[in-house]
Amino acid sequence: MASKTQILSLYKSLLRESEKFPNYNFRSYAIRRVRDAFKEKKTITDQKQAMKEIEYAKENLAIIQRQTSIGNMFKTEKLVIENTR
């Protein structure tokens, strides 16, 4: 089973990669979805189920990394609600 530090590291990696989305809507959805998923799965005690969820999170991390790369190729203008810093 993965340790708490490994799970926390995976959580932080997912959040960090989600922050890289150039599009505000995709970025906010990904961050919200990562947080909600980890809160929802917080009480899992079954070892097999926990390992399955960790593998699923790793697959999603790879998907997010690919999507941010694609998003960076096709940048658009920032939305009005985004800060222009």
27 within domain boundaries: yes
3 within domain boundaries: no
In which domain, by residue range, is 57 found? 9-71
Residue 30: how many CB atoms within 10 A of its CB?
23
30 within domain boundaries: yes
78 within domain boundaries: no
Say yes or no to pLDDT of 85 above 60: no
> How many structural domains comprise the chain?
1
Structure tokens at 56: 């699923």
Q: What is the pLDDT of residues 24-50, one digit of tens each?
A: 999 999 999 999 999 999 999 899 999
Query: What do you get for the CA distance between the two ends of the chain, in Å?
Result: 42
**Can you tell me the mean pLDDT for 53-70?**
95
Query: Which range has the worst mean pLDDT, 16-25, 57-66, 73-82?
Result: 73-82
Q: Which DSSP string corresponds to 6-62?
A: HHHHHHHHHHHHHTT-SSHHHHHHHHHHHHHHHHHTTT---HHHHHHHHHHHHHHHH
82 within domain boundaries: no
Structure tokens at 68: 């941010």
76 within domain boundaries: no
47 within domain boundaries: yes
